[in-house]
């Protein structure tokens, strides 16, 4: 069962990584285009190769239209896409200054409480994203430059949030089973301890 959830979480993280990589490339191209566009306008104004410079401007050399809208939607998706893998591998930061001295049983109870709380929060986030998406669908709002419906970004983020919520519930159930059985069923990373 763990393998199934891990595979889905890993797939989402890979998808998030691809989206993030494409966004980085797009931002670099947009910055390069913006810089070249400014240089070309300077060349036209100063009369240096004005015809060639104007031809490149007319060709479309410039920033990527709506780049910030795409970055906003893409990064939101990427954050939710990385969350399931981080959760299932216990990659979240944890500070155990006050808990490291506790006996194993108490730490197991604390782990269950943390996992259950985390699962509840992830489910609430997914439900609220769904409600927000429904609201944006009803209102028909679109982005300013690209005019794509805002609910598309909500839907993309919702896919990661739903997987996160499912993984969170699974991990909570796993920790509850460990508490009931009084043994560790699954050994995973111990988080980014600080």
Give tens-digit pLDDT for 109-152. 888 999 999 999 999 999 999 999 999 999 999 999 999 999 99
| HSE-CB of 68 using CA atoms within 13 angstroms | 3
Q: How far apart are CA 168 and CA 88, in angstroms?
A: 8
Q: How far apart are CA 70 and CA 172, in angstroms?
A: 34
Domain coordinates of the chain in residue numbers?
Answer: 2-188
Encode pLDDT of 37-91 as tens digits. Answer: 999 988 888 888 888 888 888 888 899 999 999 999 999 999 999 999 999 988 8
**Does the reported pTM lie above 0.85?**
no
Contacts of residue 62, defined as CB under 8 A and 6 or more positions apart, other chains included, come to 33, 34, 36, 37
């Amino acid at each position: 069962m763990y393998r199934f959830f891990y595979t889905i979480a890993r797939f989402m993280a890979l998808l998030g990584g691809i989206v993030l990589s494409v966004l980085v490339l797009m931002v670099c191209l947009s910055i390069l285009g913006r810089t070249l566009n400014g240089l070309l306008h300077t060349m036209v104004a100063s009369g240096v190769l004005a015809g060639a410079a104007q031809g490149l401007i007319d060709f479309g050399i410039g920033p990527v239209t709506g780049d910030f809208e795409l970055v906003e939607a893409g990064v939101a998706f990427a954050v939710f896409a990385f969350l399931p893998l981080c959760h299932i591998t216990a990659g979240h930061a944890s500070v155990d200054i006050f808990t490291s001295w506790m006996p194993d049983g108490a730490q197991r109870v604390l782990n269950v409480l943390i996992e259950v709380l985390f699962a509840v929060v992830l489910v609430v986030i997914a439900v609220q994203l769904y409600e927000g998406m429904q609201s944006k669908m009803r209102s028909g709002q679109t982005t300013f430059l690209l005019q794509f419906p805002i609910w598309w970004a909500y839907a993309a983020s919702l896919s990661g949030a739903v997987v996160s919520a499912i993984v969170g519930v699974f991990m909570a159930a796993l920790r509850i089973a460990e508490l009931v059985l009084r043994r560790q069923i699954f050994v995973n990373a111990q988080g980014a301890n600080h």
